């Protein structure tokens, strides 16, 4: 078996290629500056963790790899739109993202808002043009809409705004994070499931896995914001404290948060145990997320 | 046959009821303020012209009325999100919409951005939960994504921003408007078509009808901005001139624009001529749009 790092690099490259293909918008484009602004953040060096999760999952279940690649790329567009809107002056007012100027600093606020809107809309167009059975298509569209909407990512972002300058309880923080970052990570895994002929117990096991790595991912993110530095992160470190946001380390202490991260990592691995056969790279990925440095 | 006005009032009320039902988000809601902000602009007194077009079309073709009502309501959410984002300080910086404060003046810019995002996302969720054959569902989702995206509404909005303080040529203005306002009006009619068992010549005739009333609608909008007053319009009059935007009257003169409006109205009616049988209220609607006062 190839090393996880090699696999992640290969899969991320496949996602990049698919995204490039999808962003060749050809003759029906109205305003080239819009495509440029959409592509600017889409190709700013993201690790493609979400579509890679879709690919590892679809491989595990022996499903439709091409469909998962395209649907995962649509999900990456939704993730990217959320970053563009989240960085706006009225929101987190961030200047740096992956070591580059944020979208609105390059294209202005109006185009940044519209580039986000267009990425979100295009994601649903891509899903509606996916080559897979209609019934699966509808299921995937429903999954992404529910994960990205008022009951998922956008709902979590609103909670995040309301939480500034407030001390949250742990369960409030978890509710916020499960919307803001957890929902799309879960959707990433479920894309892999829904592009396969899956058994219900497989869906359940992978759902639990996704739930656990969603929380793990966020705890590590909070720890990195606290202990990392701007150069390594590619975004300003210490922003959570600056914005007075509740985080896992602020609620649990540094050691408490580190210990929680290890617990969720163990739970994620345990979720996979019930799956018969190979669990391929999804197990190794847990340690990768636990020990990531940016 | 009942008078057109009565029919429009009844249909708009049916849309309002459907929207209210759809906005009862129940237990999966994360942040009540988000739903409140979504509803604020959604229920600010819009005339529901887009979903009403879907309903008149589906009645003409004897299709699935309930599906058209729900899909038309999803389209109204997309229209509403575009108004919220368009009114933002970074965009048109509007203070009034339908006689009420704009969304960001009530809820702040961050929530206004997210309320728009959530309405757009929810529209696709609603379509993915529509009770109609999967294949039709996918067709409707594709229609709305293409109409609202980079090649439709959002693309037109970017052209609109780029056009400020510039003198456009007529064909540039038409391209802009066909994206910004035309695409959703066309989609509204096509929702009625796709919720029915239609013949290709019916689709073509109604497509042409929609194309013509899209332009007609915009010319009248431009004329009203120039000649109407703030109280009647429910939004500030004279904004086009203030923002130095090219409009049909600024390019064709007042009389030229009025004459163009009459021509597109005639063309819209002519498009319907090839349809066999009753063309119900779609004909009368043309005059209604031509002579509207707000």
- Domain with B34, as residue range(s), is 4-290
The confidence score (pLDDT) of residue A292 equals 82
CB contact under 8 A, A149 and B88: no
Give the Cα separation of B80 and B121 in Å (integer).
12
Q: What is the pLDDT of residues A27-68, one digit of tens each?
A: 788 899 999 999 999 999 889 999 999 999 999 999 999 999
Of A37, A157, A251, A264, the C-alpha closest to B33 is A157
Nearest-Cα distance to chain A for B84, in Å, is: 11
Residue of B nearest to A90 (CA): B110
Which positions 186-205 of A are in contact with B (Cβ < 8 Å)? Answer: none
CB A78 within 8 A of CB A120: yes
Of A44, A52, A175, whose CA–CA distance to A119 is shortest? Answer: A44
**Helix, coil or strand: residue A101:** strand
Q: What is the pLDDT of residues A155-176, one digit of tens each?
A: 999 999 999 888 899 999 999 9
pLDDT of A104 reads 97
CATH code at B91? 1.10.600.10
- pLDDT tens across B38-79, in order? 999 999 988 999 999 999 999 999 999 999 999 999 999 999
A142 contacts in B (CB within 8 Å)? 125, 128-129
Look up residue A238 and give its DSSP letter. Answer: T
Q: From B157, which residue of chain A is nearest by alpha-carbon distance?
A: A114
Collapse the DSSP code of B249 into the 3-class scheme (helix H, G, I; strand E, B; otherwise coil) and give the result: helix
The nearest CA of chain A is from the CA of B161 a distance in Å of 8
**A146–B154: do the CB atoms touch at under 8 Å?**
no
Tell me the average pLDDT across A129-144: 97
For the stretch A192-235, pLDDT in tens is 999 999 999 999 999 999 999 999 999 999 999 888 766 666 66
Question: What's the pLDDT at A166?
Answer: 86
Residue A129, pLDDT > 80, answer yes
Does A138 lie at the interface with B, CB-CB under 8 angstroms? yes
**Residue A236: pLDDT above 90?**
no
Tell me phi and psi for residue A112, to 5 degrees: -60, -45
Total number of domains in chain A = 1
If pLDDT is split at 50, 70 and 90, which confidence band does B87 have? very high
Q: CB-based contact (8 Å) between B25 and chain A?
A: yes
pLDDT at B225 over 90: no
pLDDT digits (tens, 9 = 90+) for A88-107: 999 989 888 888 999 999 99
CA distance B13 to chain A (A): 25
Q: Does A132 touch chain B (CB under 8 A)?
A: no
Nearest to A74 by CA among A177, A178, A134, A147: A147
DSSP assignment of B45-59 equals: ----HHHHHHHHHHH
| B101, β-bridge pairs | B96
Interval A73-87: pLDDT, tens: 999 999 999 999 999
Kindly provide the ipTM of the predicted complex, given to two decimals: 0.94
Chain B positions in Cβ-Cβ contact with residue A31 (cut-off 8 Å): 150, 155, 158-159, 162
Q: A90 to chain B: which residues are within 8 Å by CB?
A: 108-110, 113
User: Model confidence at B240, in pLDDT bands (50, 70, 90)?
Assistant: confident
| Residue B26 reports pLDDT greater than 90 | no
């Amino acid at each position: 078996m190839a090393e996880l790092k090699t696999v992640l690099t290969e899969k991320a490259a496949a996602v990049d290629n698919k995204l490039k293909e999808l962003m060749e918008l050809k003759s029906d484009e109205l305003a080239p500056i819009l495509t440029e602004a959409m592509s600017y953040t889409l190709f700013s060096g993201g690790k493609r963790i979400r579509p890679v999760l879709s690919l590892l999952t679809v491989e595990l279940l022996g499903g439709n790899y091409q469909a998962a690649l395209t649907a995962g790329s649509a999900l990456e567009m939704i993730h990217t739109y959320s970053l563009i809107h989240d960085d706006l002056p009225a929101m987190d007012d961030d200047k740096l993202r992956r070591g580059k100027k944020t979208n609105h600093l390059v294209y202005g606020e109006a185009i940044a808002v519209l580039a986000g809107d267009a990425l979100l809309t295009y994601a649903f167009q891509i899903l509606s043009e996916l080559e897979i059975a209609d019934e699966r298509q509808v299921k995937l569209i429903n999954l992404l809409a529910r994960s990205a909407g008022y009951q998922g990512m956008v709902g979590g972002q609103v909670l995040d705004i309301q939480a500034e300058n407030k001390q949250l309880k742990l369960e409030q923080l978890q509710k916020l994070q499960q919307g803001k970052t957890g929902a799309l990570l879960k959707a990433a895994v479920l894309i892999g499931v829904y592009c396969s002929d899956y058994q219900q117990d497989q869906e359940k096991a992978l759902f639990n896995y996704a739930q656990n790595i969603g929380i793990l991912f966020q705890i590590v993110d909070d720890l990195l914001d606290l202990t990392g530095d701007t150069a390594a992160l590619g975004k300003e470190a210490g922003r959570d404290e600056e914005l007075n946001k509740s985080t896992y380390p602020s609620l649990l202490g540094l050691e408490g948060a580190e210990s929680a991260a290890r617990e969720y990592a163990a739970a994620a691995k345990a979720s996979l145990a019930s799956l018969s056969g190979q669990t391929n790279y999804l197990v190794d990925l847990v340690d990768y997320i636990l020990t990531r440095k940016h």
